[in-house]
Chain A
Amino acid sequence: MIIIVIGSVVSIAVILFLLAIRPGDLPKPVPVSPVAHLDERKAAIYENLRDLQFEYRVGKLSDMDYQATKLDLQRELAKVLAEIESVLGALPATKTPPAAAPASPRKFMCPHCAAEFPQALKFCGECGKSMKARA
């Protein structure tokens, strides 16, 4: 008899745990950047550049190897940056309108991709376009 009681209690507890979900329990949706994979690639190239620099400094690489590999990495970086720009450029214009003021007086927002920066810049560090508002 006691076995049946224990079994029933465990079963009911499991069913309640599985199904008694309140709206507040649901995790908030996290926005995923459309260029997250390209950002990863960009970070990897920077890391490769840093490694290359260090290996050259410790004397593991000849000048020729260093220059050739550095050039390759810079080309790859340019390609990834261009791809990021094209992905962001192709996004529907649902972001903050160009004329909108920055949310905070101390922040500077890119009129093209809505990225925010703490200081004034000529070109956006995220999409590379001019930080001046579109005409």
Chain B
Amino acid sequence: MENVGALAVLLAFCVALYAIVSSVVGKLKRKPFLVLSGERAVYSVFILLTIASGILVYAFLTGDFHFSYVAAHSNNAMPSVYKFAAWWGGQEGSLLFWSWLLSGYGAVVVFTNRRKHREFMPYVIAILSTIQLFFLLLNAFVVSPFQVLAEGQVVTTVADGAGLNPLLQYPAMAIHPPMLYLGYVGFAVPFAFAMASLISRAKGDSWIHTTRRWTIVTWLFQGIGIVLGSAWAYHVLGWGGHWAWDPVENASLLPWLGGTAFLHSVMMQEKKGMMKVWNMVLIAATFFLCIFGTFLTRSGVVSSVHAFAQSPIGKYFLVFIIVGVAATIALILMRLPYLRSESELESVVSRESSFLFNNLVLLASCFAVLWGTMFPVLSEAITNEKISLDAPWFNRLMIPIGLFLLFLTGVGPLFAWRRTSLESLRKNFQIPGIAGLLLAIGLFIGGTRSPWAITSLGLCLFVAASIFTEFFRGARAIHQKNGINFAHAVFELTHRNTRRYGGYLVHMGIVLMFVGWTGAAFNKNVVKEVKIGDSFDIASYRIKVTDLQQGDKGNYQWDSAVLEVSKNGSFLQTMEPERRFYKASQQGAAHIALRTRLNEDLYINFAAAQGNQATIQAYVFPLVTWIWIGAIVLVLGTLVALVPSKVTRQYARTEVVGITQKHVTVEN
């Protein structure tokens, strides 16, 4: 079967090459036959890669260990869900997974645009297929997942595999990489449309309208992937951190920041025909940051806890990025005359300028994270000494930047488009400003002394109040005009402009996440070596060790502690943190015990067992649950923004009489 898989990948490589040639030649020579053939080539690549991926997954599920990739990343005792997840658990499989996702995206793009955008679709196909070709080159010739174990010239096998990294054997980890990859790969689509519209000199913003939902969905996947990674780190690594500024974490954050900047600045182009060059640069930067992220994850250029994914494929990525960036810059420069702005910034005190600031700050944060991530490489190149920047360095830089972004999140909706007079400012800032200030003063009087925590919580209330005011004012106007009840008016308001009010919900999610992150200023922790019968205190909790146990579960051996948790003398619950040792991979992993409440988490890790003693790490993390609640609100808000608005973009026929129907509705 491995030969069929390898052949499918090789055929897909040839067909992707054909897709590029036939689409471009078909477009230039005006041969619709060739253009259609190019479209079919995109479908073919998807089918071929589905066959190849199916063969690999089948090998995992049936434990076919003569595939060296299967033997290295799976073992018999592993549950089926992790056997499936092992598809993307290592280098070769994850790159095949990248290719397969891209081919799926390509097929959907071709199908949904089979009768639209005929002027630039051949170029979209050519660009997507070029990206596809690069990954297929790696799949077919550099890191094939279809290599077999051999002794000399004879194919061999092993009785059992080495198993998946135990850290990856966790439910969130089964979904985290696909989500991130859906994000990484998905940004290729708006990038392809943007470049295709430049190549074909297409007038207007049709590439933006067409890819708006693609971009949002991709951004959402990327966001979910990042949060799942964060949740995984919190629940699995045993130290309670949800973000450590690890290079691979940073790699996933970079395109998300770029995508966030793009989603905001693109509104300027739609509303006012401004920032056309900037949007091209942003979407290109976001796409190349995705490739760069994959490069960081897969090349091992910067040492990381994700170093299990190291290999020598870095040079291929580097060449692809350099050539791609150079070609993109050249194309944008050649088409500058087509990207002239249609209007200018009227006033510094306007929503446009808040968007501009938002973009600059997001870009600054992107650059700061990139600089911090690449610093070990740069320092090694210059001074021959590898200097890594640690989490406190990132925190010192990113906390103020993050708070300024939070401030802009609140300020943006309060400014009007084009200009905002002092009178409007006073009217709009009054309630949110006073609320935020009062909370900050209240926190200080209440004994909080961390300036970052006070600023953050004050800003959180400021932004929440500004969002609440937006909903309240709008719903009240509809309620008064239409006579419907208030809840219905809120629904109606949101439905009329899902993009705006969905966006506000996303902002609310970000506010809640900031509340959760701010809780870190009040974290407490205790490390104790304990025996049965010992007890110790952390914050207001008393923890008593009632038993220390151990056992064997086939796939792993385990040690655990049975702990009775009480507060102010009254028993709360029994908690059982566990330490696992996976036999196949000979690696340990934490299985923490967690008591989650809205105000704080009690987090207990079984660090080590020594005879009749155990080392227990106990933490209290205030407000951390709000990070996950915020993430859920963010997802819901994004889904609302994806729903078509009730009021589609139409000409107001009362103002211009008798407009024909042929261009009336514009995709919203």
Contacts and interface: CB of A to CB of B under 8 A. Distances in A.
A65 to B, nearest CB: 5
B380 interface: no
Interface string B20-61: 000000000000110011001101100010010000000000
Interface stretch (B4-12, B70-78, B329-337, B388-396): B4-12
Interface stretch (B276-284, B363-371, B648-656): B648-656
Contacts of B155: none
B423 A18 contact: no
A124 B657 CA distance: 8
Given A26-B33, A27-B36, A46-B649, A116 B417 contact: no
Contacts, number: 150
B419 interface: yes
A28 to B, nearest CB: 8
Contacts of B585: none
A36 B663 CA distance: 7
B324 to A, nearest CB: 27
Contacts of A124: 658
B342 A41 contact: yes
Contact of B421 (A17, A47, A65): A65
A17 B115 contact: no
Interface string A47-67: 111111011011111101100
B114 interface: yes
A117 to B, nearest CB: 5
B600 interface: no
Contacts of A51: 417, 497
A69 B651 contact: no
Interface in B622-668: 647, 649-652, 655-660, 662-663, 666
Contacts of B115: 27-28, 30
A115 interface: yes
A42 interface: yes
B7 A10 contact: yes
Q: Which of B41, B421, B658 has the most CB of A within 10 A?
A: B658
A37 B203 contact: yes
Interface string B449-482: 0000000000000000000000001101100000
A51 B628 CA distance: 33
A26 B115 CA distance: 10
Contacts of A37: 203-206
B418 A72 contact: yes
Given A7-B3, A60-B473, A50 B416 contact: no
Contact of B119 (A18, A32, A76): A32
B473 to A, nearest CB: 4
Contacts of A69: 416-419
B362 interface: no
Given A39-B666, A116-B660, A125-B656, A54 B417 contact: no
Interface string B291-304: 00000000000000
A4 B206 CA distance: 47
Contacts of A121: 657-658
A18 B118 contact: no
Contact of B204 (A40, A61, A119): A40
Chain B CB within 10 Å — which of A6, A10, A55, A60 has the most? A60
Contacts of A101: none
B130 interface: no
A125 B424 contact: no
A3 interface: yes
A10 B473 contact: no
Interface in A1-28: 3, 6-7, 10-11, 14, 17-19, 21, 25-28
Interface of B: 3-4, 7-8, 11, 15, 18, 32-33, 36-37, 40-41, 43-44, 48, 51, 114-116, 118-119, 203-206, 209, 270-271, 273, 342-343, 346, 416-421, 423-424, 427-428, 473-474, 476-477, 497, 647, 649-652, 655-660, 662-663, 666
25 contacts: A14-B44, A14-B48, A17-B43, A18-B41, A21-B36, A26-B32, A27-B32, A27-B36, A27-B114, A27-B115, A28-B115, A30-B115, A30-B118, A36-B204, A44-B270, A48-B417, A55-B416, A57-B477, A58-B473, A60-B424, A65-B419, A68-B419, A116-B660, A125-B660, A126-B660
8 smallest beta-carbon distances between A and B, as pairs: A37-B204, A125-B658, A37-B203, A39-B663, A58-B473, A62-B423, A43-B666, A125-B659
